[in-house]
Structure formats: structure tokens, C-alpha cells
Amino acid sequence: MPKRCLLFLLALLPASAFADIQEFKLPNGLKVIVQEDHRSPVVVSQIWYKTGSIDEFNGTTGVAHVLEHMMFKGTKKVPAGQFSRLIAAAGGRENAFTGNDYTAYFQQLEKSKLPLAFRLEADRMANLQLSTGEFAKEIRVVMEERRSRTEDNPQAQVGEQFNTAAYQVHPYGRPVIGWMNDLEHMKVDDARAWYHRWYAPNNATLVVVGDVDPQQVLKLAKQYFGPIKPQLLPLRKPQSEPEQKGERRVTVKAPAKLPYLLMGYHVPALKDPDHDWEPFALEILAGVLDGNASARLNQNLVRRDQIAIDVSDSYDLIQRDRQSMFVVDGTPSEGRTVSDLEYALLDEIERIKEDGVTEQELQRVKAQVIAADVYQRDSMFYQAMQIGRLETTGLPWKFLKDYPARLQTVTPEQVQAVARKYLTGDNLTVAVLDPQPIDENKPKHKEVTHGHN
């Protein structure tokens, strides 16, 4: 989650035209990837650390994101608040975001200002000062952020409970922003330990997209990041969710008018880009169900049968721990229940398992893939995101080049096969919002007094 104002990060869309990407590695382990885009005299610089909530432990959930906030709280040379002021004075925009798999920081600038971004980013990679006073204020900001995102957002509460039910062991089950109790008891030392454990050049990828010369970028990267010493990174042990052996259900009660249903199945993410086919078939399956307004879920459940006022699905094949969820969610129409909607969604899934998908549907999804591959080139920021995300999850950026072609090879039989294999009752988790009338006199959540300040 973003420290501040943020953008919605979309699931990976296809990309092509990556002829102009160059990759370097500094002796200290920092990877530098540069994509030239000369359409405008601007540049985006993003630094991606391979650390996210997936690396956290119980009791200090949310620390990856808290540290992201603290990264703006000053070094010896650049005191608290100055990072943002310097970037602003250069006409720039900057922010950061944290996910399960990564933490990333970015600046968007007129192209001549790139050295400033590197200087500031390199400085805080090595010299962050974590003061007790700044921490005490910032942890309160993060708790406000959690209230906004989750506590007062009924559907987000359902999402959070869904994750804990679907992942009983794997850290993907924990919220990126952390549990409120952990935030309430977090200490500056927790953030400090996190910083020292993960913030090093050999755990980072610098991605630059824009009107730049790759050799110049490399030179600047060497100048600013080169002197930072690499460090020994903790051994990352593989974590995996034990096989689910039966349906799971959770209910969330919260003040709302409409109920909400969220269903998901454990499915594989991409492991071997050259040989895997299942993740691509799952992507196409997601597109056949919900890739456009005429896709099955919207056409059949919203338009034709009017069981739902909204339905959607999602699947993300890029995951550091190579496991993902195929998720379907929706809001039943008034007069229909979540059970009605659940049956209808399961029915759509059954039809694919029994009858497969048509060649025409497949072609339609593939046409979208080709167009999206072109459209995304209108955003330098988005292109940088894709590169950073792949590299940080341990997949080569070159995969972007192959992705549209790999999707084109998926057959109707493969789509049917993954539906049959993974979208099964024993592999299903269902989370439901049970809307409660608003009782204005009673706060939803009892507030706890914090010991921080």
C-alpha cells in the first residue's frame, strides 16, 4: 500500500515492443533496467526491494509497509520531510507502495532531474535514521490508513477474511497493512530491524523508463548507488500452503445495505515461463468469464438473468511464491441472495468444465490481449511497473516480450482442463458480507488507546 496517494496497480497486462530495454548489474548486486521511451522529455525512476508482507512474522504484521512510510522520515543529510520537498522543487511527483511481494519507491520527473532522484534514493537505501519521535507520529498515520482502507470498508473486510481463510499457513493470508493490534504495539526497533535486514543494493532493482540514454543512466547509477555495500541477506525458506481438503466459509457482519460474495480457488502462478501452460490457460479463462462487458459473467448474470448487479473475476500469474488464487466476486441484485449468486457463479464454472469455451470467445480474449499490449505503451509508469514487478518476483523482464504470444497459443481444451483441475468444491473458499443496519450510536470498533504517544 502506498505511503500516500496512490495508483491502482492492475494485474499484469501484456507488453511488447521491448526492443529498447537494457539490463545491467552493478558489482554490489544492484540490478539496473532501462527502457528508452522518447515520446516526452520525462523519466520515471522506480526502485523495487524484494521484501514485502510475505517476509513478515506474526506479531509484527504491517512492518514492511510501516518502513515504507518511515523511508520519508529522514537521513543525516536529508532530514525528515526534505525528500518530498526536494522532489517537489524539481517539478517531480513521488510516492511509494508496498505489496505482499515487494516494496517500491518512485519519482516522475523532467528528464534532466534524474540525478536528484538517484542521489536521494541511494542516500535512504543506506543512511535512514529511524527516530522514535518520527515513528510515534507515523504509526498513527498508518493506523488511520488502515481505518480508511479496511475498518470502515465492508468489502475490504470481506477480502481480508477471505485471505485468512484461504491461506491458513502461507503469509499471503495476512493483510499487507497489518493487523491493527500489531500496528498498535509496533516499535521503532521493529522498523529498524526490517530496514537493516532487507534494504541493500543486492536486494533491489532500479527501473528507469523515459527519454534517457541507457549508458548515461548506468553511469549515474554507478555514481550514486555504486558505493553502497552489499550485505548478507537472510535465507528465504520456501513457504507453501498445504493442499486444501474441503470447502471453507467465512461471514463478515458490517454496516452496509447490500450483501457481497467473494469466492476463490487455489491455483498455480507462473513458475517456468518457458514451459508452463496452466497459468496462461487460467488467464484466458479469467478473460472468457470477465474479460469484457460481453463476457459470460456480466452477460449471463447481470444482463440476462439479473441475479447480480456486479460480477467480476481476477487472477494474477505473477507471484513470488508461485501460488495464486482464481477469484470470482459479485453483489446480488436486490431480492436475490448471496446463495442465489453463488449457485449461478458455480453454474457458469460447471458449464465451462462440461462444455468448454468457444473458439470465438477465445479469439475475443486474444484480441483484447493484443490491443492492451499496444495501449499500455501510452504509460511509462505502467511499463516500469511491469518490469519491476517481474524482476522482483524472480521472473525475467524478457517475459513481457513473450507474454502475448504465449497467450495466443492457449487452446479451448487447455482452458477447460484448468477449470476442471482447479475450480473444484474442495478447493473453494467462500466469504460473504452480511450487511447490518446502521446503528449510529455504536462505533463499529472499540478504540484502543495506544501506548505510543
Partner 1 sequence: MAIINRVFATACFLLFSAGSVHAGLPIQHWQTASGSEVYFVENHALPILDISVGFAAGSSHDSRDKAGLASLTQHMLMQGAAGMSDEEISRRLADIGAKLGGDVDPDRAGLSLRTLSSPRESTQALELLGKILQHPDFPEAVLEREKTRIISGLREAATQPESIADKAFNAALYGGHPYGVVEASEPETVAALKRNDLVDFYHAYYHADGAVIALIGDVSREGAAQIAESLSGGLPNGGKPVNMLPPVPFPEAGKEVRIPHPASQSHILLGYPGIKRGDADYFPLYVGNYILGGGGFVSRLTEEVREKRGLVYSVYSYFMPLAELGPFQIGLQTKREQADQSLKLVREVLEKFITGGPTEQELTAAKQNIIGGFPLRIDSNGKILEYLAVIGFYHLPLTYLDDFNGKVAKVTTAQIKDAFARRIKPDNMVTVVVGGESDK
> Which CB, 411 or 436, lies closer to partner 1?
436
Query: By the 8 A CB rule, do 207 and 37 touch?
Result: no
Query: By the 8 A CB rule, do 404 and 16 touch?
Result: yes
> Which CB, 228 or 302, lies closer to partner 1?
302
- DSSP β-bridge partners for residue 44: 108, 209
Of 239, 196, 155, residue with least CA distance to 63: 196
Helix or strand holding residue 42 (H, E): strand 42-49
CA angle 25–30–32, rounded 5-degree value: 60
Query: By the 8 A CB rule, do 54 and 171 touch?
Result: yes
Q: Provide, rounded to whole angstroms, the least separation between the CB of residue 41 and partner 1.
A: 5
205 contacts: CB under 8 Å, gap ≥ 6: 30, 31, 32, 33, 47, 48, 50, 388, 391, 392
> Which CB, 60 or 331, lies closer to partner 1?
331
359 contacts: CB under 8 Å, gap ≥ 6: 412
> Which CB, 214 or 291, lies closer to partner 1?
291
Roughly what angle, to the nearest 10 degrees, separates helices 380-392 and 399-408? 90
* Sheet strands (E) in 137-276: 204-210, 248-255, 260-268
> Which CB, 92 or 356, lies closer to partner 1?
92
Catalytic choice (23, 36, 68, 138): 68
Residue 399: C-alpha distances to residues 306, 320, 376, 383 (Å)? 40, 15, 16, 13
> Which CB, 169 or 374, lies closer to partner 1?
374
Burial, 120: exposed, middle or buried (Cβ in 10 Å; 0-12, 13-18, 19+)? buried
> Which CB, 196 or 405, lies closer to partner 1?
405
Distance of alpha carbon 182 from alpha carbon 187, whole angstroms: 10
21 contacts: CB under 8 Å, gap ≥ 6: 33, 34, 35, 387, 397
Active site residue 68: yes
Query: By the 8 A CB rule, do 310 and 338 touch?
Result: no
For the CA atoms of 147, 151, 152, 156, what is the dihedral angle to 10 degrees?
Answer: 120
Q: Provide, rounded to whole angstroms, the least separation between the CB of residue 442 and partner 1.
A: 5
Q: Provide, rounded to whole angstroms, the least separation between the CB of residue 92 and partner 1.
A: 6
Active site (catalytic) residues: 68
